Amino acid sequence: MKKNVKRIATVALASMMIGIGAVGTAVDFPLVQNTSITAEAASVGKVLGLTSKTLSNSEIKLSWKKVSGASGYSVCMRKNGKYPQIADVKGTTYTVKNLPNATRENFKVRAYKLVNGKKVYGAYSDNWNTATNPQQVTQLKVASVTSSSVKLTWKKIGCTNYRVYQLKSGEWKEIATVTSNSYIVKNLSANSSYQFKVRACKKDDKKTNYNHYGKYSDAITAQTSVEQVHNVNAETLSNSQIKLNWNKVSGASGYSVCMRKSGKYPQIADVKGTSYTVKNLPNATRENFKVRAYKLVNGKKVYGSFSENCHSATNPQKSVITSSSASKNSVSLKWKSIGCTSYQIYVSENKSWKLYCETNDTSYEIKGLTSGTCYDFKVRALKKDDNRKTHYGEYSEVVTIKTNENKKITQEDIDQMRRELQEYSNSQAKYVQEHYTEFWRYGIDYTTLEEYFQMCINESTPENSGYDSVATITFDTDENLDNIKSNFYSYIDYEYKERPKTYYVVYVEVCPNGHRVNSNPCWAVYFLT
């Protein structure tokens, strides 16, 4: 009825315009018709209720409310800040296809009416934003495991985040939301089987969290490793062997024994039991060990955590005493240098061994011994490991040494010394031996060389003969007389070399009240010429 009223009003208006000469003929009627088109177009309404449903990772289905009188709808998608048309549809739905996965998109829709073959558009709908789903997560795998954790990794894809799921009591439960393509599931039980899967999530531009999910990945099964090895202990068996032992781990198929080298712990043995002897080690070296258990899963070894580090050391070599010497109250020892921390010296008197001292040197003087007593000595090397535990080498062979007697020099010793020195002096008097017949008193007081020597000895005293120096030996000395005689022999050799035509008489006298070069009671030894 409204259309009829409009038409009557239009005809009346046209007649009035003809009557007053505004319109010449009926040929001008199309003007009335254009006015009618404008009025009709103004009645195309705005699209309301635009919404969407994400169908996949490349399709979004749009829907909106019907606009009364509309001939069709123009579907537009934002690009470079504008909204070009992507479809012209008659109904109130449209599926946008071939979109990139996991991308946010914005849409608008407007209705139009066909008037005389031309589209007259209504107002745009409000903007609607949404997103396509991400792709399905692929290549989900177990990167590593411990006795209480599993590290999952998967191929990275375009999305906002990833959701990690675990099968618990027959249901899949979301356990984590992460932005990276890996996740460590913790607080798991040792030697147990678990199932996991992951899917990607894309958020659109709405203020409220409206998520678009990709398909779930294929589920995978992860096996946690056996428990950590505990209580690794080391027993040093020799200078090249260390025996390790540890607590048994429930469910373990075997154990990997590792020894530190260049800051790392490479495996040196794969054993089934809970002990292993490391052989062919250098002597007196500190070593560090770790052990971890493993379980065979589908033919592959799944390792538990390493044990705590275990310190130890091999024993040093057997010590070797190379030389020794004794005095009245002490003994000096020397031994071969070997790799170790230090050496211990043991002393035994009457089969009772006692530790005398510990030293870093390869020689030592043992003092405070009793003169004229036999003692046994032995040495052993030791090595301390990183726990300050001591490892010992074998004892050296036992060396028996007697300290010097505490014997005083007697008059008999002095007389014997004088006779020996005089005999030596006679033997060195080469010139006298060749020319004694030329000396004064030959044929009167002596006729042989022996008689000449004896005459000189009988008649020579410090008062009537010359001498260069005098030596003294105190009565209470306990010095070795052989050392004193050795010095006198050297003196005789020197004098005969300097004065070959001279003959020396060894003269010893007791000086009970002391001597000018020695204030103590002593023997004075002269070499008279």
Q: Tell me the domain boundaries of the chain.
A: 2-41, 51-131, 141-223, 233-313, 321-402, 411-528
| Overall residue count recorded for the chain in this entry | 529
Per the CB < 8 A criterion, the answer to whether 172 and 199 are in contact is no
> pLDDT tens for residues 394-406?
999 999 999 987 7
Q: Which fold has domain 321-402?
A: Immunoglobulin-like (2.60.40)
Domain 51-131 architecture: Sandwich (2.60)
Residue of 219, 257, 230, 220 lying closest to 147 (CA atoms) = 230
Q: Which two tokens stand for residue 56?
A: 């996949």
Complete DSSP assignment for 457-510: HHH--TTTS-EEEEEEEETT--S-HHHHHHHHHHHHHHHHHH-TT---EEEEEE
Supply the pLDDT for residue 204: 86
DSSP 228: P
CA–CA separation, 180 vs 154, rounded Å?
A: 9
CA–CA separation, 323 vs 325, rounded Å?
A: 7
Beta bridge partners of 182: 153
Residue 406 in 3-state DSSP? coil
Question: Half-sphere exposure of 244 toward its Cβ, with a 13 Å CA cutoff?
Answer: 32
Supply the pLDDT for residue 40: 54
Residue 451 in 3-state DSSP? helix
Domain 233-313 architecture: Sandwich (2.60)
Which single residue is written with the structure tokens 């239009």? 10
CA atoms 22, 25, 28, 32: torsion sign: positive
**Is the pTM higher than 0.85?**
no
Do domains 233-313 and 321-402 share one topology? The answer is: yes
Q: Which fold has domain 141-223?
A: Immunoglobulin-like (2.60.40)
Supply the pLDDT for residue 39: 52
For the chain, which residues score pLDDT lower than 50?
Answer: 1-36, 41
For the chain, give me the number of helices (H) and strands (E)?
6, 35
Rounded alpha-carbon distances, angstroms, from residue 258 to 16, 60, 333, 386: 113, 58, 42, 17
Supply the pLDDT for residue 441: 92
CA–CA separation, 307 vs 228, rounded Å?
A: 6
Supply the pLDDT for residue 350: 79
Supply φ then ψ for residue 291, to 5 degrees.
-135, 140
